Amino acid sequence: MWLEACSMRTEAVAAVPPQPGAPRDAGIDAARAIGIVLVVIGHARGCPPWLSMLLYSFHVPLFFWLAGAVVSEARLFEPAGRTVARLARRLLGPYLFFFTAAYLYWLATRGIGEKAARWGDRPWWEPLQGLATGQGELLYVDPALWFLPALFVTAGTYAALYRRFSAATIAGGALVFALAWCVFFPDSGSRMPFALDVLPAALVFYACGHWMYPYLRACGRVPRRVVVLVAAAWLALAFANGRVDLNQLRFGEAVLLYFAAAGAGILMVLLLAPYVRSNRLTDWLAASTLLIFASHMVTFNVLSGLAAVAGWQSARDGFGWALASSVVAILVCKPLGSLLEAGRQRMLRPLSRATRASVGAG
């Protein structure tokens, strides 16, 4: 009965894709909230290796999928120049801002304590190479920032392809290409600027999000037993494939297993999302995803520095530290977001006055 109802709703919903200005999708917001918490925990020092392995199997692919799920037809068919400008404003602006903050903190602390052994002999200008190239291994002042140029390239590429091909065609073609690319390219030992070497895999998830979102949205809340079965499949696939890291082009035991485990993990979160009731916390987490993504590693570095100064070295070895630092890294984004918004409004005020003055003069 559920499958029949799901099929009927799918036909209706798929025929009417989300439109600009439509109400926010509570399921997507819940998936974002779940995903960003898992990303932060997975990056936290003290996170158990087995848990980190499981989270890495799908948490970043989830955000490529969600980005594709919410992109509108209007955005996809806007002029290319407007697409690039919009993506640059939304992604490369925060990329530059948070890199600058992380870089200044790195410069001020790289000669202190254990950081002196890791970074003391690195030239001051080396992180700037990471900023210019967007390469993950050079963005060590804030490793999570690699996602922003990667999403910039992925979204722009998908918009260009979508003018000629359907979402299903792009997803299928990207998967075929990515299976070969992810097998052979990492062995070359080279990296490409602005995450172009990550693009083949990222495009699979982005395209699948745009293609599959209407169908999943139509299905609504599925029976709990389905969620349990998907979760069991994800666990089996993730453990079989082992440690992965999309940023580092590490795909585990088999590339096919990587995509299967990532797909199962994404599906698990999407099926769980309707069971999460919308509330102020989940709404804020969903709205603050980009801010949390860009800032949490800097917060971790600051907390580690404070712990070292206070002599709490052992506190960083356990899962308790991972959870506590994750909570702080998320909560600090509340006042940080308010400060950034206040700064943005202050910068826009002179422009608004100038605009009103020019209109009055006309």
List per-residue pLDDT tens for the chain, 362 residues long: 444 445 444 444 444 444 444 557 888 999 999 999 999 999 999 999 999 999 999 999 999 999 999 999 999 999 999 999 999 999 999 999 999 999 999 998 887 767 767 777 888 898 999 999 888 778 999 999 999 999 999 999 999 999 999 999 999 999 999 999 999 999 998 999 989 999 999 999 999 999 999 888 888 889 999 999 999 999 999 999 999 999 999 999 999 999 999 999 999 999 999 999 888 999 999 999 999 999 999 999 888 888 877 777 655 568 999 999 999 999 999 999 888 888 777 765 554 554 444 444 44
pTM comes to 0.89
In a domain, 254, yes or no: yes
Q: How many domains does the chain have?
A: 1
Q: Is residue 359 part of a domain?
A: no
Q: Which domain holds residue 219?
A: 32-348
Q: Would 301 be classed as within a structural domain?
A: yes
Q: Residue 214: inside a domain, yes or no?
A: yes
Q: Does residue 67 form part of some domain?
A: yes
Residue 358 maps to a domain: no
DSSP alpha helix (H) spans, the chain: 2-14, 26-43, 49-56, 59-70, 73-76, 80-87, 93-109, 114-119, 126-133, 147-162, 167-184, 199-219, 224-241, 255-272, 280-287, 289-310, 319-331, 333-361
Q: Residue 103 domain-assigned?
A: yes
Kindly state whether residue 19 falls inside one of the protein's structural domains.
no
3-state SS, residue 245: strand
